[in-house]
Structure formats: C-alpha cells, structure tokens
A and B are shown apart, each in its own frame.
Chain A
Amino acid sequence: MTREDLQQDLTGRFPDFTFEEGGQFLTMHVPAAQWSNIAYFLRDTPEMQFDFLFCLTCVDWLKHLTMVYHLRSYTHKHELVVKCQLDRDNAEIASAAYIWRTAEFHEREVFELFGVNFLQHPDLRKLILPDDWVGYPLRKDYDDPINMIKL
C-alpha cells in the first residue's frame, strides 16, 4: 500500500487517531491504553501485516514520554510509525513481546533506561545495567555527578 492509501485506510477504521504531517514515515498517534489491540490489529489484518518491528524506542520530552514503534511489512512493503504518549510519573504500556518477539529485549532496554513499565512482559528485568542501579539514565533529568562527564 502506498503511504496515502495506508493513511486513508487507517483513518477510515480509526477516525480518532491523529497523524503527523510530513516526515519520513507515516506516523500515527495511538492512546497508550489501546496500543495492545492496535498492535494485534496491525500484525494480523491481511491488508496491514506489519510483521517486522524494526525499531522500538522511547523519547523523553520532559512533560511526558513518547514510545516510538517502527513497523514494516515484508509482504506489502509498507512502513508505519506508531507513537504512544505516556505519563512521566506513572509510565505504563502493554508489552508487545508476544506480538513481535524482538520487542522483549528492546522493551527491557527501555524499561531500565527510561523507567517504562511494560505490562504482561514475559521477563521484565534489567538487561544492560547492574541490578542495583538507581535511576533511569536516558531520561533528560538524570544526573550522575560521579560517572557523567559534562561537555
């Protein structure tokens, strides 16, 4: 599907969701509470078939966190970015690890570096940092006076 067709199709199905203007990929904003249903829909609907989650990350905007999911379909050769806005103090979103297995590691990384809690994640533990690490290093307000060298 081309980008315009995809946007039209998705707008028809989900009139509430907003799309970003311009940008490299078609970007859809989804409420965090609906992410799990949307993820299953995006993977399993024959016209969508987003079978490959090629990037999963988080951005700290100081007022809120934004989860960013980059999706691609090997069958239809189209791509989509889904963004979910999360509350900074109580960051929670459904895990996508059962939908795309690659999300398991990526979510563990986001969990320790951003402090996002992934619900129903199969094994939510620290992956990169030591188990006793305090704080979420990739958040913008993180400060470590000992190990961090300011430029």
Chain B
Amino acid sequence: MYRETDIIQTIPGTDEMVINVGPQHPSTHGVLHLVLTINGEIVKKVEPHIGYIHRSIEKMCESLTYRQFIYSTSRMDYLAAHTNNHACAMCVEQGMGIEVPLRAQYIRVLMDELTRIASHCLWWGSIAMDCGAVTPFFLAFREREMINTIMEETCGARLTMNYNVPGGVMADIHPTFQQSVKDFVRHFRSKIDEYDELVTGNIIFQSRLKGVGKLSKEDAISYGCTGPTARASGVSCDVRKHFPYEIYNQIDFKEITHTAGDSYARYLMRLAEMRESMNIIEQLIDNIPEGDYLAKTKAVLKLPKGEFYSRVETPRGELGVYIVSEGGTTPYRIKFRSPGFSNLSALDHMTRGHKIGDLVAIMGTLDLVIPDIDR
C-alpha cells in the first residue's frame, strides 16, 4: 500500500511504481493531481484527483437570485467566462420566455467567437510550451491581449466579463468595438498562418503528437467527450449546428471534424476552429442591427415551477446548465454539466500504454481548465 503523501512508492512484487504528478506541476495548468502507476517510462494507469479548488458553485447558486448566480459562473471556465454566462442567461430566458433583442444576439455571438479565439490562443501557446517550445506562448499572448483589450473596452473586464444578463447584454458595445474587431481579424489572419509555419509543420512537434492518445469515435461518445476533443475523433457534436441558439442557424459556417482521433487531430481541430470563428465574426461585424441591447424584464425574476436545460458550445465543448425551479426567486437545484469534467474522465483510457512525456501532450490537447472541472 502506498500513502498519498509519499512522492514515489514501489508496488511490491512488480516492476511498477506509483508517482504523483501535481497538484503543483507546470504541465497540469492548474491544481490537478494525477496519481500515475508506471512501469519504467510506460504509464499503466492514471488516476485524477480533483477538487483542490472546488468551491461548490452549485450549492452557492441555490441561495443566489437568477440575476446574481450568473456572476459566479465566470469563475468556472475562466478562459471562456462569456460562454458560461451565456448558457446561464439563456437558461433563465428560456424559463421566463424572454425574447432577446436581435442586436443583443449578434453581440453575444460575436463575443462568444472572440472568446473562443482567445481561449484557443492560450491553448496553442501552452501546448507548444508543454512540448518544449517556449516562444509560441508569448506570440499567442500577444494576439490574446488584443482580444482582452476589446473585452475590457466593452465589458469592463478582461477575463470575468459578466456581460450577459437575462434579456440581453449589460451595456451597449463600445463605439470603437467594430473597428477594433475588424483590425484584430485582419491582424490575426496573417498571424495564424505564422502559427502554422512555426509549430504545425515542425517535425519534432508532429512526432510528439501524431498517433499519441488515440480516442476512437465510440469511446469519445461513451466517455461523454464533447467539443474539439470529440470532433477530432469524428463525432459531429457541435451544439451551434445541432441545437442552434441565438442566430447561429443564420450564419454560414462549417463544423470541422477529423477522424484520426489522436493528439495531432485535436491540435489541427482547434486551429481550424479559430479560422472558422474569424469567418463568423466577419459575417456579423458589419451587420449588427440597430435597436435595444437589453429586453425589458421585471426587477425580480421568478422562474416558473419546472426544469430547464440550456447548452452552449464553449471552447472546450458542451456546457449544460440544468435548473430545477420551485417557482421562487432562487434556483432549487442547479447543475453545471461542464465539458472539462467529462473530457478528463477519458484521460486514463487515452494515456494507458504511452510514455510519461506523452501524458503531458495528451493533457495539453484535451485543453483542461481546472476550475471548470472542479466547479
């Protein structure tokens, strides 16, 4: 028997030993603790221990009103706070039957896609760093900074936007918003080609990812993977296509899927998604309709008795918000089906038989955000 406090323990009678990765480890990008059973360099088993930053947001939300609880969800997936807020606002609107003005829908979708690019930028920098290249991290942050500045101008915050409220968005867009977004897209189009030249074609990088961490289509579905992780395995699961919300059904965009299911496919997936997000932004940015940005709602929101489920496509996959209401001003029970939680459960399956170094690459391409998993 090994104690968790021991750093390395051998298992008597076998060549295997148990080591701890994390909770403080640069490649886990947060406080994720993995207990590995290894034989030499080969990983036999991965056991994730999570909950180091569990704040029980679900319990907290039970005592917050329908206007207040949205803010706590910015602290789940802090790299995509806007999409989290979006799912919650949509769930309340669905329960109340609030019609969101068209202008607000356009703004929400634009912000969602900017968030997606910003989140994937950070992921691109960190996966390259996980595989040993440090420069891409700084390059990606340069582009991400532009999005953060745009967010700051309009939402007032760089990460925890809290821009979505039931009925629309909190404030109108900044007068220079459209111009800054157009400048950003023009700038980013040339930079993403640079990303490809620098990292995608790199033979060392490719050999670190190709054939590593394969996930078959059946397994991806069974493990509940969503988002780029599942689409890289050939599962067509884009919520924006299958359960269109806001104005996604009027936008011309492709759902990208790969069939290889390995880490390299997941890498290509996210780069392609950034390009597709730019296409969506370009279609919308000049056509934001005039009108209200916020529907008129009652001061105190009360959801009728019943159950409501809403979902959005966050950069990591399908985020579901499940509200059970008893007719009061606060939710009776709320459940966040976070994409990272389900994606993490496939880690053990994907890593078995690979080397420890590959574990880092697999974790990197899963794009884990720990507060999103812990909630």
Contact = CB atoms under 8 A, between A and B. Distances in A.
A151 B322 CA distance: 22
B276 interface: no
Interface string B39-62: 000000000011100101011000
A138 B57 CA distance: 11
Contact of B222 (A101, A128, A137, A150): A101
Contact of B341 (A59, A101, A105, A138): A105
Nearest to A104: B345
Contacts of A24: 94, 307-309
B141 interface: no
B235 A137 contact: no
Interface stretch (A9-17, A28-36, A48-56, A84-92): A48-56
A55 B310 CA distance: 12
Contacts of A59: 324, 332-333
A51 B222 contact: yes
A101 B223 contact: yes
B318 A54 contact: yes
Given A24-B308, A54-B320, A54-B337, A102 B51 contact: no
A137 B56 CA distance: 9
Contact of B235 (A74, A102, A104): A74
Nearest to B349: A101
Nearest to B308: A24
A105 B63 contact: no
A23 B307 contact: yes
B166 to A, nearest CB: 17
Nearest to A59: B333
A77 B56 CA distance: 33
B222 A55 contact: no
Contact of B306 (A23, A53, A60, A137): A23
Nearest to A24: B309
Contacts of B56: 137-138
In this complex, the interface size class of chain A, counting residues with CB under 8 Å from chain B, is 20 to 34
B223 A150 contact: no
Contacts of A106: 341-342
A130 B33 CA distance: 13
A102 B345 contact: yes
A25 B306 CA distance: 11
A94 B140 CA distance: 47
B134 interface: no
A57 interface: yes
Given A104-B345, A105-B342, A128-B374, A53 B224 contact: yes
Interface string B332-367: 110101000110111001000000000000000000
- Determine the main DSSP class of A at the interface with B: loop
B59, B64, B318, B335: most-surrounded residue (chain A CB, <10 A): B335
A151 B63 contact: yes
A55 B333 contact: no
Contacts of A104: 345
A55 B322 contact: yes
B173 to A, nearest CB: 31
A1 interface: no
B309 A25 contact: yes
B221 interface: yes
Contacts of B242: 77
A124 interface: no
A138 B58 contact: yes
Contact of B219 (A57, A77, A101): A101
A54 B349 CA distance: 19
B59 A138 contact: yes
A100 interface: yes
Interface of A: 22-25, 51-55, 57, 59-60, 68, 70, 74, 77, 100-102, 104-106, 127-130, 137-138, 150-151
12 contacts: A23-B306, A24-B94, A24-B307, A51-B222, A52-B224, A57-B322, A70-B309, A70-B322, A77-B242, A102-B342, A129-B51, A138-B58
Pick the 9 closest A-B CB pairs, nearest first: A102-B224, A128-B51, A105-B345, A57-B335, A101-B222, A55-B337, A151-B63, A59-B333, A128-B54
Given A101-B224, A101-B349, A127-B50, 13 more contacts: A23-B306, A23-B307, A51-B221, A55-B309, A55-B320, A59-B324, A74-B235, A105-B344, A127-B49, A128-B374, A137-B56, A137-B59, A151-B63
